[in-house]
């Protein structure tokens, strides 16, 4: 029996190497699962927000049609209420275009805050 094999048997390098490899693989798998859990939570929040936005949009649209119909009724016109509501949104669109850079910065900051909050 040689000295090299006896030292190797004593220190059990092969077992240590296998154990270390299994440990590293386990850590990598754990990090993957943790990342997957975070992504799942974020996607669930995004889907929930999209569904809420869709429902709110439908409610908003129906309320606009109702307001236009009420204006039509009081003005005794078939189209004036819809024209007034459309004009209102054209003006709002112009205002939004004027403040678009500030609005986009605000939205980007809110999204960044949400992501940072989600990580910690």
| pLDDT digit string, tens, across residues 6-58 | 666 666 777 878 888 899 999 999 999 999 988 898 899 899 999 999 999 99
Structural domain count, the chain? 1
pLDDT of residue 78: 92
Range of the domain at 99: 3-119
Are 71 and 85 contacting, i.e. CB atoms less than 8 angstroms apart? yes
Helices (H) and strands (E) in the chain, counts: 4, 0
Q: Whose CA is closest to 83, among 68, 104, 64?
A: 68
pLDDT of residue 72: 95
Show contacts of 23-28: CB within 8 Å, 24+ apart: none
**Tens-place pLDDT, residues 49-93:** 999 999 999 999 999 999 999 999 999 999 999 999 999 999 999
Rg for the chain, CA atoms, rounded: 31
pLDDT of residue 11: 64
Within 10 angstroms of residue 74's Cβ, the number of other Cβ atoms is: 10
pLDDT of residue 109: 87
User: Taking residues 87-113, what's their average pLDDT?
Assistant: 89
Backbone angles phi, psi at 96, to 5 degrees: -60, -40
What is each CA distance from 5 to 14, 15, 16, 31, 98, in whole angstroms?
12, 14, 15, 37, 80
User: What does the alpha-carbon distance between residue 90 and residue 93 come to, in Å, rounded to a whole number?
Assistant: 5
pLDDT of residue 117: 72
**pLDDT band of 3, cuts 50, 70, 90:** low
pLDDT of residue 38: 87
pLDDT of residue 2: 62
């Amino acid at each position: 029996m040689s000295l090299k094999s006896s030292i190797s048997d004593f220190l059990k390098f092969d077992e240590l190497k296998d154990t270390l490899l299994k440990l590293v693989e386990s850590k990598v798998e754990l990090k993957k699962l943790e990342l997957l859990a975070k992504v799942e939570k974020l996607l669930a929040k995004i889907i929930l927000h999209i569904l809420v936005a869709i429902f709110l949009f439908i409610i908003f649209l129906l309320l606009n049609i109702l307001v236009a119909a009420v204006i039509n009724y009081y003005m005794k016109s078939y189209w004036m209420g819809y024209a007034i509501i459309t004009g209102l949104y054209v003006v709002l669109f112009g205002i939004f275009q004027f403040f678009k850079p500030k609005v986009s910065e605000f939205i980007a900051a809110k999204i960044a805050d949400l992501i940072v909050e989600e990580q910690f």
